Structure 1
Amino acid sequence: MAGDDMHLRAVSHILRLKATVSAFIGDLSIKIKLLLCFITFSTVFVSSVGIISYSKSSNTINRQSLIYSDSILKQVIDRIEKLKYEVMNISIPFVLNPSIQKNDFQTLEYIQFIQRKRAIEAEFSTIMMFKKDIGSIYMCVEPDMIFSPNNFGSRDEMNYKNYLVYRNCIGSVSVPVWTSVHENEFSSDESRNVLTFSRSLYDNDEFQPFGSLIINIPVQVLKETCKINASSTNYNIFIIDKKGNTVFNSLGKKGSENIPRGYLNHVVTVKETESTFRYKADGRNYLVEFIHSKDREWIYIAEVPIDYLMENSTQVKSYIITILLAALIVSFAAAYLISAYFTGPLRKMIKTMHLVEMGDFQVKTGIGNRSEIGLLSQSFDHMIEEIRNLIYKLGVEHEEKRKEELNTLQAQITPHFLYNSLNAIKCMARIQKVSGIEEMTTSLIELLQMSISKRTVYITISEEIALTRKYILLQNFRYGNKFSVIYEYDEDVLKSLTIKMVLQPLLENSLFHGVDASNGNAVIRIRVYRKQETVYMEVEDNGVGMTEEQIHRVLNEDNGRKRRFSGIGIKNVNERIRMHFGERYGLTFRSEPGKYTVAIITLPAVEEMEVRQNV
């Protein structure tokens, strides 16, 4: 019993002590709590890091070795792939040059041939002047012509078709070929060991090769490219192709020697596109890393001696201990400063959040520093402002939508009345066999149907042009065929979609404000064409033209309220296009007063199926 009493008293004492400590901590200020938390965390964290860092320093060195090896290899890959990319881009203008693709060198007059040859060689010289990595450029054209600013002999002109680099690219017409480092087959070339890029020249009509473009990169350029820093002699770089053949060997004097490594077969056959392993060669242990190129044609290999990577491990351990002790001291001081710094802004932010929660969106935190809390408070202020603007914008949009709906309902009354009346006139004209009136009312009815239709938003350009023709028919009746309209369009754009009634307002603007349709000299051109992914519709007249001020007024004033036929003003056309297709599309004008005006509509080149998928 005595033992049980003592046990109960001990438990009771512990519980009271726990309650006292909890009450004490709870009564502390936020600043003291943060200070205690930071000190505790810093002590535990720094001590743990020190112990783990010291005991695991070897692992740290290994990881650094991997990072170093990976960094070297990836920098080499970036440089060589960039060099390959630049050479590829240099070749494209020549291979696709129409004057070269014509392959008419043998039929040219002597002077013309010399001029063409000098022009091509001048371009090669300019490229080599600005791109120092290129050692030589040759353009070989069958049967026996060579264009190059570099040295070559008559033997080269006679025998180049037997050269390896020429045979490689002729056998692969559409794909450029990289030939691994080899002895330069052009005997007079100063660069004796080169990496060669070659691609065939082909006739554009028959797609038959008639020569090749050969670009040589000296092996010394590759060796310089592989030098990442002053310690570049402490690692080796190898490049092999997917069959294991040597492309480049940094150890060799020529750069083309076979690589004396037993792991090459493993690198070629393994499924991984990049990996790291250890290998012993020449009495030294190496950390080996390989990475496949993006096109999987080449494999880049880096060898870094492990003893070089580990030589500073002892010094690193000493640095770790010193830095951790200093960090522990600094962390105590930083804990005090940070706790004091954070208290004020936190309280201010909490107060602001409570006000926003109560519905006050006019408040701001007022914290303007660039710390994390400062940025957070600025983001919070920005969010409050966005909410306030959104509420205002929603109210404005709701009011505008309500007004627009009322205007739409009111605007449909007259077209429906006219539509019914015109049908009656059409029937009467047909009975009395007045074909002109019947044709005119039919066109007007169809235009009114499209104008008042709610269901049709998108129509094809073909349908839009058809509506345009009906509108022109009406105006020709009015003006007695004294103006002419010329249509110019590509058949392949007729299936592209547009929103309805975009050309009619532009034609109306030309007839009523641009040209004098009664004098018989007025000409209006309607062009529709496509450039890449954009469709252009143009309405050009030879009328009075417009000044920049008039163009600005037409695009920005709601001139649709001065209704003539469709009630759709120029501004409305521009806004509807942007609303349906985005801000990059719309309506622009080009004009010269007294001469002409061109209205230009830009639309995305989309067809009906694409619109159905996205609307």
Structure 2
Amino acid sequence: MPTLGEKQKHKYIPFGYKLMITYMVFIILPVIAIGYFSHSMYQDSIRQQTKNNIQGTLVQMKDNIEYKMGEVDRISTMLYGDYSLITQLRVYGKGWDSFERTTKIIMPKFSIALNSTGLNIAMFLFLENDTFPEIYYGSIDNERPEDFEGSYNIYHLSRIQDKAWHMDFPPEQFGKTKLWQRVEKDREFKRISFLRRLVDYEKPLELKEIGFMRISARTEELFQAVDYQKIGVGSALLIKDELGRVLYQSGTVPKETSGKLSQNAEFLTIRESVGEQTWQLEAYVPLTVMEQDSAKVRMFIILICFLCLVVFTFAGVFISRYFSVRMNKIVFVLNAFREGDLRKRMGYRGKDEFSQIASALNEMGRNIDNLIEQVYVTQIEKKEAELESLQAQINPHFLYNTLSSISRLAQFGEVDKLQRMVLDLAKFYRLSLNEGRTVIPIRSELEQVQAYMNIQTTKFGDSVSVFYDIDPEIIKYVTVKLILQPFIENALEHGWFGSPIHIRVSGKMEDDNIVFKIIDDGIGMSEDLIRQIFDPVEGLNTGFGIRNVNSRIQLHFGAKYGVTIGSRPGIGTTVQIVIPAERAECPNHGTKGKQGPC
């Protein structure tokens, strides 16, 4: 039966429960918050993007409308600025003279102006000079503009002297007074007219009205670009004049309240000014157009958040159980250690598993210190012995292959090649051994590389080529031996696959460092393989030689120097080796220096 002390000992929150609480606070709540805010931000973004798109569409519509309005204005300007026409209109004559000027001078000018545009317009010209005959189709009081579109009508100005739209026309400013307005039966026939005077500007300070132009155009043609379907189903587009009167409408307009469109929260209103008379192009876009995509995204975000919560919950339960089980095992093992003759050295306040870990660790402290010291010394000695062994390592594979090649050359009687290969092999190993020295001149390192490549070119002929790009400045410095040849050998063994391979060896000064590069156009390596070379997976021995060179450089020169590799499959590999620019030891005083001669 458990004692009172044993019952109190287990009254704490288990480690697994603590992990779950932490998970709830730092994972689930942020996921919910992120889902909420991301949806809100996306919805605002969708609305802004939709508004910008619609604004751009309205600008295109505006440009199209202004272009057509400009076409009508251009027609009127052709007549307004035609000095010869103005001159003829102020000449009074009767009979044959008036008829001849009308048919041969005035009417051709009107025809040219009318035919200079592709718009279906009807042109009314009211002349103050009543000596000109009237030429018109139908009746001015019962006009049907669609019957004489593409034609012009000449009337006397007296016919409109009492018309309100003529009487209220603004005072003339030369070249500026012109107006779009619905007059006569324009509203009935869904048209709009462009009004402008013809003036005698012989005396600029006394502009005299000698005629009046009215150019009637269909609102459907003038505002053809205004189509609600371009901004979405359920939308509406309106063209309003400077007084707020609707000139043209496309789509169903939202309900009106007191003569004005209500600011209904279900619609987004966008406006754009049109023309010189400050007309307004208004768009009413139902928010449902934007909410359709927003609803899909909202459901997607909710689904993702729900799946994340489910996955994270199962992951949290698994992880908490995973660590809780292992923590209990650690506690069990440490409690077993407590049976040894160890003294407590570390205090820990609390009633959970860590208090037991602290107690056990205190009891193991002294022995662990001793073991760490012994292991550290042993590892240092082992590392030094290993690096010394690697430094002196000679590739037996290369030696065996070279001797085999020498045997074949002897067998086939190729004495010249045999002699070159033997001499290069002897030179290679003489430079490799180098009387047991670790640090050698860069010249010797390059000669060792050249001897190695001579052997390879003797064996493989034109299939292997090497190019040296060495800055003469670096020859006077020293390096750890055997840092270039292993990478060239690696390129030939692992980067060469059938087709000829080209290798470039460069050496340059960069600030106070020497940078070597071995570049080949072989089959290359993947990023995963490069990672395994410098961070090998247990049980694999990939890149042992490369790590050997890197370790020797860092052991001798420091951790900021060493080897880096860049490669892409099918393109090739570039190996960069960085060492400090250090001179050989001076014979007189035995010191090193980076600047000046010994």
- TM interval, shorter chain, is 0.3 to 0.5
**TM-score after normalising by structure 2:** 0.33
**TM-score after normalising by structure 1:** 0.33
